[in-house]
Structure 1
Amino acid sequence: MKKILQFFAITLAVLPMIASAHGPTRQSVKESVFINASPEKVWAVLSDFTAIDKWHPAVASVEMLSDNERKLTLKGEGHPTITEKLEKLDNDKMMMIYKIEKMSVIKTITYNSKDTPYYTLPVNNYKSWLSVKAKDGGSEVTWKGKFYRSFMDNPPVPEGQSDEDAVNAVKGVYTSGLNNLKAMLEK
């Protein structure tokens, strides 16, 4: 009995250390917008993988690297880039899945004696879904993503590289894009 109690005491003492000694956890963001336009009209814009620069205000240009891979050049200082790969485009279900393949490095800092890159977005292992569904005589567009923060080591985390920073950055991308898409299609 004494050994069992010792085992539980050690387990309870070690458990908090194990819980705090982990890398990032998978995060997710889901944003939706109602657009007063037919799903077909909305999908015609969204499904064109070559033309996100026509509706997303942060994208300056798109360069197609292959049939299913695009390089986005963003507006703003230094014109950072994001390369994305289209994994699935389903016109019947009005849904697309894509992932980020690579991003440009904005800056590098030394943190805990290691060079730590800051990418275009503070995310790693990013995958996204865009879909359009009929709703209330118009369309509901849903954009969701799953990802990790870009800093993959254990805490402490450098400024701008936390889970919260990653979530806020992705939310910003989604809401600005969806709001602009809505404004454009409801003119």
Structure 2
Amino acid sequence: MKKLFQFFAAAMMVMPMLASAHGPTRQQVQETIFINAAPEKVWAMVKDFGGLHNWHPAVASTELKDDKTRVLTLKSEGNPTITEKLDKLDDERMMMIYKIEDMSVVKTITFNSKDTPYYTFPVNNYKSWLSVKAKDGGSEVKWKGKFYRSFMDNPPVPEGQADQDAVDAITGVYTSGLNNLKAIMEK
């Protein structure tokens, strides 16, 4: 019995260490906005995979590499880029699914004795859903993303690379884009 007690006591001491040794966890952001415009009109703007710069204020330009790959150039310092791949475009359900394939490295720091890149956004394995549906005589636009933070190693995490930094960055992208889409569509 004494050995069993010692085993459980040791296990209880190790458990907190194992929990803190865990890498990143999958994060999710979802933003929704009501737009006083016909869903078909809003969907026509949103579904244009080569036209994100027409309604998102952070995007300077969109270049289509092929019908399913776009390169976004952002308006921020150094004009970083994001390459995205269209997984699905469903006109009947007014929904698209896409993912980030590649991003610019905006800077590199040395952290824990190794070079650590900072990408355009502090996310990794990013996948997004963008949909439009009829609601209350207008449109409900929903933008949802699932992702990990970009720093995939165990803690400690470099400044600006934590889970919350990733969530905050994507939330900012979604809210600024949806608010501008609303302003454009309701003119």
- TM-score interval for Structure 1 and Structure 2 normalised by the shorter chain: over 0.9
| 3-state DSSP of counterpart to 1:78 | coil
Distance, in Å, in 2 between the alignment partners of 1:165 and 1:12 is 31
Post-superposition offset of 1:2: 2.4
1:32 paired residue number: 32
Amino acid at match of 1:90: D
Distance, in Å, in 2 between the alignment partners of 1:67 and 1:131 is 19
Distance, in Å, in 1 between the alignment partners of 2:149 and 2:73 is 21
2:109 paired residue number: 109
Post-superposition offset of 1:65: 1.1
Cα deviations by residue, 1:16-63 (Å, 9 ceiling, x for unpaired): 010000111111100000000111111010011010000000000111
Post-superposition offset of 1:7: 2.1
1:64 paired residue number: 64
Task: For structure 1, list consecutive stretches of 5 or more residues without a partner in the other structure.
Answer: none
Amino acid at match of 2:35: I
2:161 paired residue number: 161
CA-atom RMSD in angstroms: 0.7
1:147 paired residue number: 147
Amino acid at match of 1:54: N
Cα deviations by residue, 1:96-116 (Å, 9 ceiling, x for unpaired): 000000000000000000100
Q: Aligned ranges for residues 70-89 of structure 1 at < 5 Å?
A: 70-89=70-89
Distance, in Å, in 2 between the alignment partners of 1:33 and 1:101 is 27
Distance, in Å, in 1 between the alignment partners of 2:21 and 2:76 is 36
| 3-state DSSP of counterpart to 2:45 | helix
Post-superposition offset of 1:67: 1.2
Distance, in Å, in 2 between the alignment partners of 1:7 and 1:26 is 32
Q: Aligned ranges for residues 173-184 of structure 1 at < 5 Å?
A: 173-184=173-184
Amino acid at match of 2:145: G
Task: For structure 2, list consecutive stretches of 5 or more residues without a partner in the other structure.
Answer: none
Distance, in Å, in 1 between the alignment partners of 2:178 and 2:139 is 12
- TM-score, reference length from structure 1: 0.98
Post-superposition offset of 1:3: 2.7
% identical aligned pairs: 75
Distance, in Å, in 2 between the alignment partners of 1:47 and 1:4 is 62
1:45 paired residue number: 45
Distance, in Å, in 1 between the alignment partners of 2:43 and 2:3 is 64
Q: Which is further off, 88-97 or 4-13?
A: 4-13
Distance, in Å, in 2 between the alignment partners of 1:24 and 1:159 is 15
Task: Provide runs of 4+ in structure 1 moved above 4 Å.
Answer: none
Amino acid at match of 2:8: F
1:13 paired residue number: 13
Post-superposition offset of 1:4: 2.3
